[in-house]
Structure 1
Amino acid sequence: MISGAAKLAGVMGWPISHSKSPVLHGYWLDHYKVDGAYIPMAVAPEDLPRAIAGLRALGFKGSNVTVPHKQAIMEFCDTVAEDARMIGAVNTLVLDTEGRITGSNTDHAGFIANLHLSDPSWDPKAGPAVVLGAGGAARAVLYGLIRAGVSKIRVANRTLERAQTLAQDFAPHVEAIAFTEVPAALSDCALLVNTTSLGMAGQPPLDIRLDGLPKTALVTDIVYAPLITPLLSEAMKRGNRTVDGLGMLLHQAVPGFEAWFGIRPTVTQALREIILGTK
């Protein structure tokens, strides 16, 4: 039950029916008995200005933002947080009492929280990290790793120029390497991260051998469909510690929920099972 004073938030995208955010936030609203609602909002690109005006007019506390609006939304923000500027995308909006909008990106925080909580033994200072991919997800991972204290990161991408762009943007912590150089780069690697869609259900496999990866290295994949990707499966067989990608999705939602509804939620096993059970 909600009252006339219910706090409102939601998620904007086009399309939006695939989003797991309403189930995720709905679970927390119910669990913490919050007088509020989280609403999926299908917003076509040409309707984005009116949607922003609608958030203000209706007194929304904020909104998540998903494709294809993560870059376009930045021009409608009164303030763009440093994380969103560095990552180049906004996924969370917070409106103050005057309707002013702050846009931020919580993906980096979700990624790091997932590593720390899933594997408390992970040490950012243990050694170099290797990140596969150079898209938006890679930017969030790089920002998070650097803030966590990882001082040396090698980014590998099939299009080397894209990796070089990241190396320039995140200098001096990041080095760009060709995909063919990955086997050598793994020799002293303490953390291997796949940020590409390779290995996801319906996508080509990730063609990488882990022969040179130290057994002490942690391996993580931001893909969570399937939950155990071929990369994680191979790492497990070798005896490497692994972290799946579902936790990143769940933990990135925590800061927004806290900002909108005034409660910092906890990611639990029950929540994981509910999200995994949704199609």
Structure 2
Amino acid sequence: MRNAAVTGHPIGHSKSPLIHGYWLKQHGIEGSYIAQDVPPETAETFYGSLAKHGLVGCNVTIPNKEHAYKAAEKLDDAAKTIGAVNTLWLDEDGVLNGSNTDGLGFLGNLDQILPDWDNNGNKAIVLGAGGASRAIIWALLSRGFTEVYIANRTLEKAQKLADHFGPNTIAVSWDTLGETLGEADLLVNTTSLGMAGQPELTIDLNNLSKSAVVTDIVYSPLQTNLLREAKAQGNPSVDGLGMLLHQAVPGFEKWFGVRPHVTAELREMIVKEMGLT
């Protein structure tokens, strides 16, 4: 029996056991996936001894992604570039591998909901310069986007990210966002603005092309103010729940040897469980 877990501190709120439990049952796999509280001060040691804890791998969430990055013996390109790990697995030689699947989850969500979305153009605007934005910038560049504008209220943070990712990324001031919107084929919110309990994200979308895709990584609520405004003016839009579901796929495949699918039934189950609207 193969066992995996989601780890972090605190961890009781995680819906990952529901997602992986659904797939285990669907594929008739004898295995388990639990929530394991791992305080940051013991995280690196814990991840370095997964086998002793009876685990073949795990997901990693706040605040341990950098600790997992340090613990991994082998990192893929996404993890190296993003600088954080959310998925760990032991390979057949017992080597601890680390990946960051957030970017793949982002792409998988768009690919499923809006096939050919990336044929729309190759210029994107990413709102925010935190950890989530790093994964999404990596994903967009890997998909062939040639211009990725990073807008952040603190321009220095956006510039630091642009310097990290190279010449195809451009830092822009939040105050000049209206001018930049006219260039965009894709607009992505990676900030917590619009999330339940947070202030709304309010930007004027008038300059945005009506063919531009708008997506938000926030999934509570499912329809954020940004997505409502985009829909009102006819822009194709995608909510953030699919990113959560799709980022879980690569880990499950590594741990249990089967590539699962994100289905309407799974999404409906999570929406109901989380009380999303």
With structure 1 as the length reference, what TM-score do the two structures score? 0.95
- The question of whether the paired residues in 2 share the 8 Å contact of 1:124 and 1:150 is answered with no
Q: How far apart, in 2, do the equivalents of 1:237 and 1:58 lie?
A: 51
Secondary structure of the structure 2 residue equivalent to 1:10: strand
Partner in structure 2 of residue 68 of structure 1: 63
Q: How far apart, in 1, do the equivalents of 2:48 and 2:131 lie?
A: 27
Matched, 1:94 2:94: no
- The question of whether the paired residues in 2 share the 8 Å contact of 1:65 and 1:92 is answered with yes
Q: How far apart, in 1, do the equivalents of 2:268 and 2:243 lie?
A: 15
Cα drift, residue 53 of structure 1: 5.0
Which deviates more from structure 2 when the two are superposed, residues 158-167 or residues 76-85? 76-85
Q: Could you list the runs of 5+ residues in structure 1 that have no partner in the other structure? A: 1-5
Alignment of 1:94-133 (within 5 A): 94-124=89-119, 126-133=121-128
Letter in 2 for 1:20: K
Matched, 1:143 2:135: no
Q: How far apart, in 2, do the equivalents of 1:181 and 1:258 lie?
A: 43
Secondary structure of the structure 2 residue equivalent to 1:123: helix
Letter in 1 for 2:124: A
Partner in structure 1 of residue 24 of structure 2: 29
Partner in structure 2 of residue 208 of structure 1: 203
Secondary structure of the structure 2 residue equivalent to 1:214: coil
Matched, 1:230 2:225: yes
Matched, 1:246 2:241: yes
Letter in 1 for 2:84: A
Q: How far apart, in 2, do the equivalents of 1:84 and 1:50 lie?
A: 19
- The question of whether the paired residues in 2 share the 8 Å contact of 1:95 and 1:101 is answered with yes
Partner in structure 2 of residue 3 of structure 1: none
Partner in structure 2 of residue 166 of structure 1: 161
- The question of whether the paired residues in 2 share the 8 Å contact of 1:198 and 1:204 is answered with yes
Which deviates more from structure 2 when the two are superposed, residues 11-20 or residues 38-47? 38-47
- The question of whether the paired residues in 2 share the 8 Å contact of 1:156 and 1:178 is answered with yes
Which of the numbers 255, 272, 275 marks the counterpart of 1:277?
A: 272
Partner in structure 2 of residue 219 of structure 1: 214
Partner in structure 2 of residue 188 of structure 1: 183
- The question of whether the paired residues in 2 share the 8 Å contact of 1:138 and 1:195 is answered with yes
Secondary structure of the structure 2 residue equivalent to 1:71: helix
Q: How far apart, in 2, do the equivalents of 1:172 and 1:264 lie?
A: 35
Q: How far apart, in 2, do the equivalents of 1:82 and 1:108 lie?
A: 11
Aligned length: 274
Cα drift, residue 124 of structure 1: 4.8
Let me know the Cα RMSD of the aligned residues. 1.2
- The question of whether the paired residues in 2 share the 8 Å contact of 1:127 and 1:188 is answered with no
Matched, 1:55 2:50: yes
Q: Could you list the runs of 5+ residues in structure 2 that have no partner in the other structure? A: none
Cα drift, residue 45 of structure 1: 1.6
